[in-house]
Structures are given as C-alpha cells and as structure tokens.
Structure 1
Amino acid sequence: MREFFSNIEVGVIVQILSLFIAVATFIIARAIEKMRDRRTANREIYQKLELASIDLFRFEARNLDLIRPVWEKDTNLPAPGTAEFKATTNYVCQMLNLFEIAIKFRQDRILPPDVFGSWVAWFHDLVTAPGFPLFWEDQKWDYLPQLRHIMNAGLKLKAEETDPEVIESKFYEYVSHVLKCDIVRGWTEEGENTPYDDFWDRNKQVRKSKKVTEFNTQKMTVDWITDVSQVPALAQLFIHNSKENYISHGEIQVGRAISDKEWAEDIKEQMEKEFKEALEASPFGPSHLVGASYKNEYIGLILLEYTEFPGGWFATLSDIVVDSRFRNRDLGEKMVKWVTEHLKSMGSINYLPRVTSIMNLLTNF
C-alpha cells in the first residue's frame, strides 16, 4: 500500500515537472519571437527614416530656387509673409522634423550610434548654412529641447569661432555630450595612422607573396540561385569570407552578431535558414539570391530584400559576399551590375541609391 501511494506521488511530480518545462519552453520561445519581431520592426523603422531622407534629397534636386536662400550666402532671402518664405520655411522644417526623429530613435536605441554619427553631419551642414538662422528663430519652439539645444549651440559656435574645422569638431563634441553618445565625440578627427594606411601597407606585403588564383572572367556566370542543396555551401561561403569588419548594426539587430566584433555562435544555422527562405520566388525574380559561379562552384553571392512602400516597391542589397581568392577581379561590381540591370528591366520596382552607388566602392572585389 505504501509503495502504491509512493508511485502516485512520483507520477504527480513528473506531471508537474512536465507542465513546468512546457510552460517555460513556451515563455522562452515567445520571448525569442518578440525579440526577433522587435529587431525586424526597428529595421523597418530605420529604413523608413532613410527613405524619407532620400525623398527630401530628391525634393532639393527638383526645387533649387526654393532652397537657395538657405544654402547660398549671396541669395536674397524671401520676405516674411510671402508664399516663397512659407515654402522655404516648410523645407527647413522637413529637415528639422527628420533630425528630431533621428534624435528620438537614438535615445530609444533604434538608431545605432555609428549611423547616428552620419546624421550629425547633416545637422552641422544645416546649422552652418547662411540662411538657417532666420528660419530657425521663427520655428525653434516647435521642437523638442534636445534638438533646440543642439541647433542653438551650433549657432553660438558659428558666432564665436572663425575656424570651420574648430566649429565642426566642437559641434560633434557637444552633440556627444547632450545625447551621451561617445562614438560621435571625435568623429571628425583622424589619427596619424588610419585603418586605410594599415590596410594599404598590409595589402602591399600580401600581394608580393600571395599566389594569384587562376580566373577566367569569361567562364564566370551570374544568375538566380534556386537549388536548395546549395544552401550549406552558400552559408560556408558567407562565413569564411565575412570577417568581423563586415559586421554592421544590421547584423547585430537581426541576431547574426552579438557585437561589432563577434558573430553569433549559431551563425551557420542562421545563414542556412536565411538562405533557404531567400530561395522563395518574388515578384521580381525566381528567388532573393543571386550567385556568381565559376567551375561549378559559387564564388560570390548577393541577398536581396524587397519592401513595398506608398511610393512603390524598393529593392535593397542586403548582403554581398565575394570569395577572398577571387577578389580584386571586379567580381562584386559585375554582380551588382547584373542585379541593377535586372531591376531596371522590371520597370515597376525602384532600387535605392545606396544599392547602385555601391558599385563605386567595389574596386577591391
């Protein structure tokens, strides 16, 4: 009888433990899912901010006469109360609105510090523009204190200092102080030995001793990747040829990396999962992956993302990887050119400037 009750107690305990494990597993899975959803949402929010800035640049290109009073010293300012003054004021406010959003995103950790540093350059350009003070005086109370402090400090520096480089350096330092963003501090200062100098010296030494891999560009082909059996090899291509300097805020946001210097432990599994999902067809091609193959081996890949906005569909070049054995052969440029020509032929999709302009940066690929 005692053994019978003992068996019942053990069974109850096992049931309780099983229930506890099931609940814990569910909670952890939900937490991971929410974290991934938040990363994806943050990425989409940031993309919308970038697209808004691109729209503003296009507006500037189409309305040179309207923006001249802000940027050109010898241009007559429109008289207050006129339609011209109102239109130019609205243009200035568009920039200030974006600045305010960028500051809020930085405070909420949506905008990474290094990306925010590139926005501070735009802050500086506007605050030192000849016509800005007139428009700012009428509009400054429409903005949050952080932006007011930053722009007022920029105007004060401009009035007190005569050296443009000193103004720029102190402005970055002040923004760093206000927003507690250390990366912005010293943004415009370079040491005597830059990363480019180190790279150039090392590259010279490597080229002297490195055996050049035979490569015939006429035998290389670029096309869509659709074969799921190639996924493991593509993941290895990414891992072996994407060192720590490839890591950006995007890799950290989506969980590929745990810091700007270290990939996640499960990076192989993550990339295989991403590449499998990328094999699904899109309205603009049989998959989201483009590969360069040579002698029955993939030596380069591009991962594309498509996003629909009110202005239409946009394609973003998410990743580009080239086998280190075949770099300095313009392979990356050839792949990007293939992609952009394909997107242009579609007609109904836009390609972001940062995708096409990357061709100018691929001389080492």
Structure 2
Amino acid sequence: MHTLNFSSLAFGWQRDTSRLQALIDLFLANGDHRYISHSELQSGRALSPASWAPDLPQILRAELSAALAPASEPPENPAPMIAVATLDQRVLAMALVSIERPAAARAFATLEDLLVHPEARGAGVGSRLLEWLFAELKARAIHRLFLESGMANAEAHAFFGRHGFHTVSVVMMREEPSC
C-alpha cells in the first residue's frame, strides 16, 4: 500500500458510528506494548507498561463511541474528537484529539492517539493527517498541541520530532505491589 494515490486521500472529522468497528480494529492493529503510556494506564486500557487490558476492545468501543456521540452545545466536558484519513472509504489513519479552552491559560489540544494502518506506514499518511490536524486547530485559534507517548516507542518519538514536537516533561510512576 506504499504507492497510495494521495489525490484520493481524504481527511475529516468522524462524526457518526458507521466506522466504529474500523476504528477499533485500527487501534488493535497497532497494539504493540511500546504504545502504552501513562494515559493507557490511567484510563484502564493497559494493566501495566507491558500489557494491555484483556477487555481492550470493549474499552475502546466505549471510548470511541463517546467521541462519536453528538456533542451538546455548549459542551460542558467536551469529548475527544476523531480525525480520520480515508482512501476509498477505508480508514487508513485516525487521530483522537481533545481540545481544551481553560479560562486562565492558552487554549490547547492534546493528541490522545495517532494510529496509522500498518500497511500504510511510511507512505506519508500519518504526516498528512497530522498536517491537516494542525490546520484545523489553527483555524480554531489553537496553537499548542501536546501528546505523550510510551517510553519505548522510539519510532513514534522520531516521527513526532520530525513534525516539530519536543519533550517538555517526563512522566514517572511508582506502583506498590497489590496485596
């Protein structure tokens, strides 16, 4: 799939549940333990830095369904939004994005997830989706995009570094053994 016809590549916000299973499958296709970061541990997606929760598909179904649900106006607790890159109606990449507009600070967004179908990696799909996302955020007067990534996910770190991201903090965890 590395010879994609970019003229047919489409970007947009996924707003309905018609592609819910495709989004879940895309996430699961990227299920390497290197992807696990503190947000996966905090949300229950993962049990440890090296293992996903056994009910990950059900957790993703709930999370992504909430992101696809129609938002109330004005949203009190806005749900993340899902951006997709599609080719001939097939989802090749997705980005789960949360937009924050704190009262006393600069508005910002958080890239919760960026996933590219394994067959489309290296073809520029993730880069194009990320650039589309930057343009969408800029149009909303949002100029800061944060993300966090699993410590061992060096390939993702290099990708984001090429797109202007840099490290601003380190997340650490201490876990006491269960009784």
TM-score range, shorter-chain basis?
0.7 to 0.9
Deviant stretches of 4+, over 6 Å? 282-285
- What is the total number of aligned residue pairs between the two structures? 148
Determine the C-alpha separation between the residues in 2 that align with 1:314 and 1:325.
31
Determine the C-alpha separation between the residues in 1 that align with 2:8 and 2:45.
33
- Residue 221 (structure 1) aligned with residue 10 (structure 2): yes
Partner of 1:258: 47
What SS does the aligned partner of 2:107 have?
Answer: strand
Partner of 1:334: 128
The structure with the largest strand share of the pair is 2
What SS does the aligned partner of 1:245 have?
Answer: helix
Higher normalized contact order (CA 8 Å, seq sep 6+, divided by chain length): 2
Give 1:304 deviation, angstroms.
0.5
The answer for unaligned runs of 5 or more in structure 2 is: 149-158, 165-179
Determine the C-alpha separation between the residues in 2 that align with 1:283 and 1:224.
18
Output one character per residue of 1:247-278: Cα deviation in whole Å (capped at 9) or x when no partner: 11211111100111111011111111111111
Determine the C-alpha separation between the residues in 2 that align with 1:297 and 1:359.
28
Output one character per residue of 1:287-311: Cα deviation in whole Å (capped at 9) or x when no partner: 7000010121101000001223221
Bigger CA radius of gyration: 1
Determine the C-alpha separation between the residues in 1 that align with 2:118 and 2:74.
32
* One-letter code aligned to 2:132: W
- Residue 358 (structure 1) aligned with residue 160 (structure 2): yes
In structure 2, relative to structure 1, the CA distance for the partners of 1:301 and 1:283 (3 Å cut) is: farther
- Contact 2:46-2:53 at 8 Å conserved across structures: yes
The structure with the largest helix share of the pair is 1
Determine the C-alpha separation between the residues in 2 that align with 1:270 and 1:344.
31
Determine the C-alpha separation between the residues in 2 that align with 1:236 and 1:225.
15
Give 1:242 deviation, angstroms.
2.9
- Residue 300 (structure 1) aligned with residue 93 (structure 2): yes
Identity %: 28
- Contact 2:2-2:122 at 8 Å conserved across structures: no
Partner of 2:116: 322
Partner of 1:345: 139
* One-letter code aligned to 1:292: A
- Residue 276 (structure 1) aligned with residue 65 (structure 2): yes
In structure 2, relative to structure 1, the CA distance for the partners of 1:359 and 1:288 (3 Å cut) is: farther
Output one character per residue of 1:317-341: Cα deviation in whole Å (capped at 9) or x when no partner: 1100000000001211111111111
Alignment of 1:127-146 (within 5 A): none
Partner of 2:82: 289
Determine the C-alpha separation between the residues in 1 that align with 2:37 and 2:53.
13
State TM-score, norm by structure 2.
Answer: 0.73
Determine the C-alpha separation between the residues in 2 that align with 1:331 and 1:231.
20
* One-letter code aligned to 2:114: I
Give 1:354 deviation, angstroms.
5.3
Determine the C-alpha separation between the residues in 2 that align with 1:302 and 1:354.
11
- Contact 1:340-1:351 at 8 Å conserved across structures: no
